[in-house]
């Protein structure tokens, strides 16, 4: 148990490290978000404060406890402080696991396996969302929560995913779980399963949620096939094995294939109006997070 805890701590600290560079990221994304807001509301609502969203004249249908007395005391009318984000969203994370994810070609990368990369990605994202008072949880666990306990739980879930059997780890286990209404699904994985399987899973997933973010984590070696010479490739399944006599010669056709696959996954996401993000593990996680966050803020993921 102790080791598990320390492993979680380690994972968290790594995630924290990544989000250390996030404040500026947050600031930027907030600015972008705000400029959008300002663009819409600037004329009507001058002089807004930090936590201010919108004041509205009190109407009889409003609850009296919503009245902002300080504001109302400034004038004759009675105002209520309306909060746009009063309704928090539930965000459920899913991370692929198993042997397939436990692969990395460059040991110098700080988060070198896809698994680690994905976990960090999930946690960092969760941290950001948690700061925005969103409810976060793990897909399949069903329950969402706020604050530290929710983070702990998510961390534990992510750790468990590492040892999950491959069969149900490479794609979300759609049969056993259902999503709460309007929950956002964030799925991180390599999505290297046959496209038919992915399509089947996504179809069911699309019935459960309208909003989803799919991050496909791939190792550069998987995209570029940076090997040469005579190589015996062994897959995650023991029966998957391929001997290539000269890797260099098949590199182009492999790249074509994998790119086609990536494109298909992306098209699948487009079909359901989900956000899709490709993340090669040699890219900076923060960069990917930034673009993901932007898209969340811009509303492409928002419901």
- Token pair for 58: 């009190």
For the CB of residue 189, give the shortest distance to another protein in the complex, in Å: 11
**Interface residues toward another protein, by CB under 8 A:** 99-101, 103, 114, 190, 192, 194, 219, 221-222, 227-236, 240-246, 248-250, 253-254, 257-258, 261
Strand, helix or coil for residue 220: helix
Of 176, 231, 225, 232, nearest to 205 (Cα)?
176
Between 43 and 232, name the residue whose CB sits nearer to another protein: 232
Contacts of residue 70, defined as CB under 8 A and 6 or more positions apart, other chains included, come to none
Between 134 and 190, name the residue whose CB sits nearer to another protein: 190
Of 187, 158, 169, nearest to 14 (Cα)?
158
CA 137 to CA 92: how far, in whole Å?
5
DSSP classification of residue 77: S
Between 41 and 237, name the residue whose CB sits nearer to another protein: 237
CA 274 to CA 53: how far, in whole Å?
28
For the CB of residue 194, give the shortest distance to another protein in the complex, in Å: 7
Between 22 and 215, name the residue whose CB sits nearer to another protein: 215
For the CB of residue 28, give the shortest distance to another protein in the complex, in Å: 34
For the CB of residue 68, give the shortest distance to another protein in the complex, in Å: 56
Between 167 and 207, name the residue whose CB sits nearer to another protein: 167
For the CB of residue 248, give the shortest distance to another protein in the complex, in Å: 7
């Amino acid at each position: 148990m102790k080791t598990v805890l320390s492993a979680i701590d380690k994972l968290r600290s790594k995630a924290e490290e990544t989000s250390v560079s996030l404040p500026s990221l947050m600031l930027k994304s907030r600015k972008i978000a705000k400029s959008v807001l300002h663009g819409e509301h600037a004329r009507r609502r001058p002089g807004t404060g930090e936590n201010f969203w919108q004041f509205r004249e009190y109407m009889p249908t409003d609850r009296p406890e919503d009245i902002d007395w300080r504001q109302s005391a400034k004038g004759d009318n009675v105002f209520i402080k309306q909060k746009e984000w009063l309704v928090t969203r539930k965000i459920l994370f899913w991370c692929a696991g198993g042997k397939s994810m436990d692969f990395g070609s460059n040991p110098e990368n700080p988060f070198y396996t896809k698994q680690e990369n994905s976990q960090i990605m999930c946690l960092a994202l969760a941290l950001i969302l948690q700061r925005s008072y969103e409810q976060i949880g793990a897909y399949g666990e069903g329950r969402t929560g706020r604050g530290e306990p929710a983070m702990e739980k998510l961390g534990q879930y992510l750790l468990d995913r590492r040892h999950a059997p491959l069969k149900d780890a490479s794609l979300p286990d759609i049969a056993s779980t259902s999503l709460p209404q309007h929950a956002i699904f964030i799925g991180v994985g390599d999505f290297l399963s046959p496209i038919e399987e992915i399509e089947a899973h996504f179809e069911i997933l699309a019935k459960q949620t309208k909003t989803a973010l799919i991050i496909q984590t791939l190792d550069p070696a998987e995209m570029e096939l940076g090997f040469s010479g005579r190589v015996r490739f062994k897959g995650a399944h023991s029966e998957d094995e391929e001997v290539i006599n000269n890797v260099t010669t098949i590199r182009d056709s492999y790249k074509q294939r994998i790119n086609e696959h990536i494109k298909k996954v992306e098209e699948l996401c487009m079909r359901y109006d989900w956000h899709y993000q490709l993340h090669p593990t040699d890219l900076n996680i923060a960069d990917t997070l930034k673009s993901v966050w932007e898209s969340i803020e811009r509303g492409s993921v928002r419901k």
